[in-house]
Structure 1
Amino acid sequence: MTDNAPPATPDFAQDAAAVREATDRLLDSAGKLDDAAIGEPSLLPDWTRGHVLAHVARNADALVNLLTWARTGVRTPMYAGAEARDADIAAGADRPLAVHLDDLRSSAERFDAAVAALPPARLPYELEMRNGVIERAARLPFRRLVEVELHRIDLGVGYGIEQLPTAFVDAELAFMTGVKFAGHIDVPAMELRAPDGRRWRTGRTEHTGVVTEDTGDVPYVVVSGPPAELVGWLTGRAKGTGLDTRGGPLPALPPL
């Protein structure tokens, strides 16, 4: 399945600024580690913290490839291939902390430069990401923001879903419900509800994304809780223990 960008136009400059701020926070968290901690397990299965940091750096370069494609019109894949992607991450995982930090900074600078070089007229340009996912150039800074914010959690350095910026939580909820899981055959029809009254529908349903009017009871699995808890569960960064399902079990979600 591919996940296509929603019709709403993202704020390219705002998302790019958010990426820079999130990168600074990631560097601050990673900078408190040491060489021994780099080799310790992360919160992701089979990955050390070094794997996580290497992945974040290589993801920046992969998105530079897509931004270059969008600017020039010349097809430039994110990665040379799945095996090459995995090999690059593995090769970079065991480096000393100082090398990881330099790599994160320099790859972030390359991403910033590629963002700045993209003409506004090219923002609607569509590209192919990993696994056949079609995305617009305008959405690439947000895609990068997701990588930086969620992988900071994966480092296991005390940064959790409850500390995610509110603006990011809201944007990620809209993305997960209106794009990632919209119409997904392996996701049951769900309505997510926040304490402030906001609702989102996703999964095996024709109506996905933000719910703008009250239709009463709905034939969906209803999952209620704080937006950050919902994001944590949807992205696999939390088990959803703080969510309410009217007494039933939480639906099983496919891996991202």
Structure 2
Amino acid sequence: MTDHAHDLARVQEATERLLSAAAALDNAALAEPSRLPGWTRGHVLAHIARNADALVNVLEGRPMYVSPEARDADIERDAPRPLEAHLTDLRDSAARFDAAGSAPGDWNRTVELRNGVTDVAARLPFRRWAELGLHLVDLGAGYELEDLPVEFTERETEFLARRFLGRADVPPTSLSDGTRTWRTGLEAPEPEVAVTGTPADLLGWLAGRRDGAALEVKGGGLPALPPL
């Protein structure tokens, strides 16, 4: 069972790591490209802040975003701000998310995210943790996938493997980091492809952050994954 209170505490820790990394930058660095195509570091920070508010909307029963266009416009609007404005926004939006997540509520209820995706409310804190963890790496400010907490890497790998499970455009695939195993892709009695690698390399491939070149693949080529 998902422990939302545990995950809210992990969100607070991840927020502090992000704030420390961002505070070490300067205005010039914010205008430089991040590791996400087409986005500067300022875009990444703006997205993280707006995502916190979007998840507050979900927790409080409102649409996550007014529209895809409004989401993109808000990020473009906020990206060029100076560092101090970003830091203040990140702190304030994180506090709003923490307050909404700490309020009494039915954590077993179904909530709707973007593009018609639904989930259980109790998993929203982990989704926020995922945003903070992966985008900290995307910032290109000294953190790598190898630096993320072991618990996060294991859970996000499992989450993403399940996300692609049953997809007809992904062959039946087994994943292993040498300790744990997962299944993804089209469901079948036996996997066609076996993919093995370090926890960071497996997560990077599933999350679209690495090309999978460091993975060992047996039974065929490395499957092409749909975009997240």
Q: Pick the TM interval, shorter chain.
A: over 0.9
Question: Which residue, 178, 187, 191 being the options, matches 1:219?
Answer: 191
Query: What amino acid is aligned across from residue 124 of structure 2 in structure 1?
Result: L
Q: Secondary structure of the residue that 2:217 maps to in structure 1? A: coil
1:190 is aligned to 173
Matched, 1:99 2:82: no
**Alignment length, in residue pairs?**
228
* Structure 1 CA distance for aligned equivalents of residues 53 and 168 of structure 2: 32
2:60 is aligned to 68
The runs of 5 or more residues in structure 2 that have no matched partner are: none
Matched, 1:124 2:116: no
Identity of aligned residues (%): 56
Matched, 1:166 2:150: yes
Matched, 1:204 2:180: no
2:44 is aligned to 52
Q: Tell me the TM-score normalised to structure 2 length.
A: 0.96
The RMSD of aligned alpha carbons is 1.3
User: Which whole-Å deviations, capped at 9, do the CAs of 1:97-121 have from their partners, x for residues lacking one?
Assistant: 01000000000000000011133xx
The runs of 5 or more residues in structure 1 that have no matched partner are: 1-8, 70-75, 208-217
Distance change in 2, residues 1:113/1:206 (3 Å): farther
Query: What amino acid is aligned across from residue 186 of structure 1 in structure 2?
Result: D
Q: Which moved more, 1:219-228 or 1:78-87?
A: 219-228
1:43 is aligned to 35
Distance change in 2, residues 1:109/1:206 (3 Å): farther
User: Which whole-Å deviations, capped at 9, do the CAs of 1:50-86 have from their partners, x for residues lacking one?
Assistant: 01000000000000011111xxxxxx10000000000
User: Which whole-Å deviations, capped at 9, do the CAs of 1:156-210 have from their partners, x for residues lacking one?
Assistant: 11211111110001111111112x11212332211001212x2110111167xxx
Runs of 4+ in 1 over 6 A off after TM superposition: none
* Structure 2 CA distance for aligned equivalents of residues 125 and 144 of structure 1: 17
Question: Which residue, 189, 214, 220 being the options, matches 1:242?
Answer: 214
* Structure 1 CA distance for aligned equivalents of residues 22 and 213 of structure 2: 28
Q: Secondary structure of the residue that 1:95 maps to in structure 2? A: coil
Distance change in 2, residues 1:250/1:206 (3 Å): closer
1:150 is aligned to 134
